[in-house]
Amino acid sequence: MSDVKKRIVQIAKMLFAAATVAKVITIVLMVVTCLQIAAAFSIKVPALTGFFDGHISQIESVLGRSTVFEFLFRTANLNAMEPVYAKAIELFITFLSLVVLLFYISFFKKLIGRIIEEGRPFSDDTARQLRKSSWGLILLVLVNPVLGLLLFLLLRFFSLVFEYGAYLRSKAEETSRIQEEVIVSLAEITENKSEQTGQHIRRVSEYSKILARQMGLPEEQVESLRLASTMHDLGKLMIPTEILEKPGRLTDEEFAEIKKHPGFGEQLLHNVEGDTMTLARQIALEHHERYDGKGYPGGESGEGIGLEGRIVAVADVYDALTSRRSYKDAWDPKAAYDEIVRCSGTQFDPRVVDAFVAAYDQIDAARRQYADEHITNKVA
């Protein structure tokens, strides 16, 4: 989850707690108002009559005096009305205003709960709901003009904020979609560079997703890794085809050339903006680093290698072992599994290997689902 979304959720949690407290207070005031009405009609409520005798004026100062009641009192000659009925009318209008207030607190609490759950507060639907709901504050305006008008304007303002936020979100989603299309296109170009790699990129992407999910990464991060991992071999575009497709073992000079592809990938993605592209650049550079520091190109080790790079390293090697190449036959999946486990703590991060072992059934299913046509490995 991005830092902005984390802050949104944190603020939403605080507002949710405040809305809960406000809801409880409003319900208490509604109960108190009902009891005041009962007291006004001399309906005795045990243990509460004395309370009202000393505290009614304080409660009125909190709730405010009904503007509607004042208007009726002055224009309809309610001076002649029995005080008990006049008081009851005022309390009833106050009670209705509290009902309206309770509705809006519940509405906001539900809205805030959705923000906490989804981390996506802005939508056109929410903006429309806010605009429609604002008209219900007319009753509250009649009871307390200042509070009612303030809340009405506040709802209208937030409806505009949410509408603009929805617009920005749609633009961000469009940008993400375009970025994904670019990533897929680059991955396809890389794959077509060497026909012998088959669906290697797709399988590494699937394995990486499975491992990340098994390790408990947030779904947003899992999806970003799935996309970014498709470009782990982008630097091979800069490697001569005759080296990539050479049958038999490479010479030391040819292998030294192959080892340049992580750096080439980082260079190709260096000036590309976007979270996924930044992650792709990191993975392209680090996916051949080793946990013990004996990898390349930088000789990074342990936590010095990004978690995503450590995940893709396992996915990449497992697929390379179980795939046929011009210079080797495909390993039996069980032998490749044993090799990954054997290299835990040396070539690979032990935590990633633990996830590999725990999710191996899913990984093996993905291997078979996206198998190259010429591969006829038996199920491990």
The one-letter amino acid at 85:
Y
Burial 163-202 (b: 16+ CB within 10 A, else e): bebbeeeeeeeeebeebeeebeebbeebbebbeebbbbbb
Calpha distance 214→281 (Å, rounded): 23
Calpha distance 249→331 (Å, rounded): 17
Calpha distance 261→376 (Å, rounded): 29
279 touches 225 (CB < 8 A): yes
The one-letter amino acid at 144:
N
Q: Mention every residue, 6+ apart, whose C-beta is less than 8 A from residue 245.
A: 194, 195, 196, 326
Q: Which of 193, 236, 294, 334 is catalytic?
A: 236
SS3 345: coil
The reply to whether 260 belongs to the active site is no
SS3 348: strand
Count how many Cα atoms sit within 13 Å of the Cα of residue 180 in the half-sphere of its side chain: 11
The alpha carbon dihedral of 358, 361, 362, 363 has a sign of positive
186 touches 264 (CB < 8 A): no
CA distances from 46 to 39, 42, 43, 49, 52 (A): 11, 12, 10, 7, 11
Calpha distance 275→235 (Å, rounded): 19
222's tokens: 């899992």
Which spans in 194-330 are helix H? Answer: 200-214, 219-228, 241-244, 252-258, 261-268, 275-286, 307-322
Count how many Cα atoms sit within 13 Å of the Cα of residue 200 in the half-sphere of its side chain: 27
Which residues are known catalytic residues? 236
